[in-house]
Structure 1
Amino acid sequence: MKILVIEDNESVCSMIEMFFLKEGIEGEFVNNGLEGYNRYKAGSWDALIIDWMLPGMDGVTLCRKIRQEKSTVPIIMLTAKDSESDQVLGLEMGADDYVTKPFSPLALMARIKAVTRRYNSIKNENAETGVLETRHFKISTVMREVHLNGVPITNLTPKEFDLLYYFAQHPRQVFSREQLLERVWGYQFYGDERTVDVHIKRLRKKVGTPSQPFFHTVWGVGYKFDETVGKDES
């Protein structure tokens, strides 16, 4: 596994590098956002770890530029910002996961393995399946394109796409937040259920309407995807 880390804190880089060595991961470390972007363009990476606050180019801008190029490489953002609005911004720009400082190196390693495992699983699945069609959606896992009632939806982040695709594969099945973290993000619950809530909220705005929300809250349990229900339980 080859990972590019764009982080200007030397102690954080040293800690990550130590765990990379233990896990047999090849890491490259850059402490400037613009330099990091150029290094990303010049190489092939299994994942990116990007700090929010960087000289040269901030992490959110860097993440947005990478996603604008249609790259699906997994991105984990590191930041001291932990408000919901900050998390929404980072995820909306295309980050797959969001880890706040200070963080456990073991938890970070688990999330790195999870996002790369999920990414590789989707790549393998794409080669075999191609297109999933439901009552309202046509989802191409090869092109990573979504059509809703024949109209293309072009503003989904990679993780929003993954979540929509997983729900569409399991219509009317109720999932807890912990189950979605494990099955879509690929890691067991570490205490941040807001990640799921934020993605559901964004998907409701992008692919639903008040009369046809698609994503329904099941109180005390979690969420389900149902194209047959016209009124949200929430």
Structure 2
Amino acid sequence: MPNNKQSPMIDEAATADQFSNQKFKLIIAGSPGDSIGIIKHISIDLYDVRQAKTSCDLHNMLSEDVWDLVIIDVKVPDIDSVSLIKVLSSSNKSFRLLVRSESDDEVDRVLALELGADDCVALSCSPREIQARVRALLRRCTNDIQKEPGLSVEQNRDLGAELFYEGWVLNRDRCVLYSPSGDVIALTNAEYGILVNLFREPGLVKDRSSLLNVNSESSEYDIRSLDVFVSRLRKKMNQYNGHDLIETVRGRGYRLNVNISRVG
């Protein structure tokens, strides 16, 4: 039985080496005070962890520093989770957002994703899975910036820091999208991964697995959630006349629309 308690920490230590001993900065908002709170299971040796007890605390922290990950643990006392997720998702911050649902209901988790969360876990999610999902969110962002999957070193170098299509610019260093008029559109981790795949090969149809850079056995993201992520992307881009940019190819997947004209 002692091995079961040690294995998550051993796994996290290996991850620390992978990140070159860099301490990622995390905020945990609304974590319960008892033993089930996420903050009890996040190693302060690996991460710079701060706790926000209220939404006011959280917004103050976000305005004062740059953070890598924000975790909403069950609920924050002075605001409902839906409103908080909406506010955080609509901000132009580069942090990732992980939500721990108030229940085990799948509907609640899907709603959190639709509202803009990068990932959402059930209330009964185990400490080991929570740790793994935290690492996965941080790892995916780091890997996306350093190297696009499926490309050689030479191909990555040739791509450069930005990808272009019909006036839209996807910045690989900052993980943001610029509209043709220069507006900055903040992206979640999943949204960024989808756009990288589409921008690399405009007009080519991409299925769900390839768009999320996962295979059918992966548990990091449920590939069936892709439609939720694409819907979110379209809503963001629609504010800047980009509602037709991502085209649905029924029964096959998605691609960048090659029959649109640049607006403005």
TM norm structure 1:
0.70
Does 2:53 align with 1:3?
no
Cα separation, 1, equivalents of 2:246 and 2:63: 38
Using the TM superposition, give the Cα deviation of residue 195 of structure 1 relative to its aligned residue in structure 2, in angstroms: 2.6
After superposition, residues 193-204 of structure 1 pair within 5 angstroms as 193-204=223-234
Contact 1:215-1:224 within 8 A present in 2 as well? yes
Using the TM superposition, give the Cα deviation of residue 103 of structure 1 relative to its aligned residue in structure 2, in angstroms: 0.9
Contact 1:181-1:188 within 8 A present in 2 as well? no
Report the CA distance shift for 1:41/1:167 in structure 2 as closer, same or farther (over 3 A): same
Across the aligned residues of Structure 1 and Structure 2, the Cα RMSD in angstroms comes to 3.7
Contact 2:73-2:101 within 8 A present in 1 as well? yes
Using the TM superposition, give the Cα deviation of residue 213 of structure 1 relative to its aligned residue in structure 2, in angstroms: 4.9
After superposition, residues 133-212 of structure 1 pair within 5 angstroms as 133-134=164-165, 137-142=168-173, 144-147=176-179, 150=180, 157-159=187-189, 160-171=191-202, 172-177=204-209, 179-182=210-213, 188-189=218-219, 192-204=222-234, 206=238, 207-209=242-244
In structure 2, the residue matched to 1:227 is 257
Cα separation, 2, equivalents of 1:170 and 1:225: 8
In structure 1, the residue matched to 2:99 is 77
TM norm structure 2:
0.63
Does 2:131 align with 1:109?
yes
Point out where structure 1 has 5 or more consecutive residues left out of the alignment. none
Contact 2:71-2:98 within 8 A present in 1 as well? yes
In structure 1, the residue matched to 2:19 is none
Cα separation, 1, equivalents of 2:122 and 2:164: 37
Cα separation, 2, equivalents of 1:44 and 1:190: 25
Cα separation, 1, equivalents of 2:107 and 2:185: 20
Contact 1:182-1:189 within 8 A present in 2 as well? no
| Deviations 1:23-71, CA, capped at 9 Å, x for gaps | 7334333333322332343444331111352112334434444455411
Identity of aligned residues (%): 20
| Deviations 1:190-232, CA, capped at 9 Å, x for gaps | 57344322112333554444xx75243435xxx23243479xx
Point out where structure 2 has 5 or more consecutive residues left out of the alignment. 1-22, 149-156
Contact 1:5-1:49 within 8 A present in 2 as well? yes
Contact 2:27-2:51 within 8 A present in 1 as well? yes
| Deviations 1:1-38, CA, capped at 9 Å, x for gaps | 3322113422332x5433526x7334333333322332
Aligned length: 216
Using the TM superposition, give the Cα deviation of residue 79 of structure 1 relative to its aligned residue in structure 2, in angstroms: 0.9
Contact 1:131-1:140 within 8 A present in 2 as well? yes
After superposition, residues 12-27 of structure 1 pair within 5 angstroms as 12-13=36-37, 16-20=39-43, 24-27=46-49
Instruction: Tell me the secondary structure at the aligned position of residue 214 of structure 1.
Output: strand
Instruction: Tell me the secondary structure at the aligned position of residue 110 of structure 2.
Output: helix
Cα separation, 2, equivalents of 1:43 and 1:137: 29
Task: In structure 2, give the amino acid aligned to 1:99.
Answer: V
**Which of 73, 77, 99 lines up with 1:55 in the alignment?**
77
Cα separation, 1, equivalents of 2:257 and 2:68: 35
Cα separation, 2, equivalents of 1:111 and 1:125: 20
In structure 1, the residue matched to 2:53 is 31
Instruction: Tell me the secondary structure at the aligned position of residue 20 of structure 1.
Output: coil
Instruction: Tell me the secondary structure at the aligned position of residue 36 of structure 2.
Output: helix
Larger radius of gyration: 2
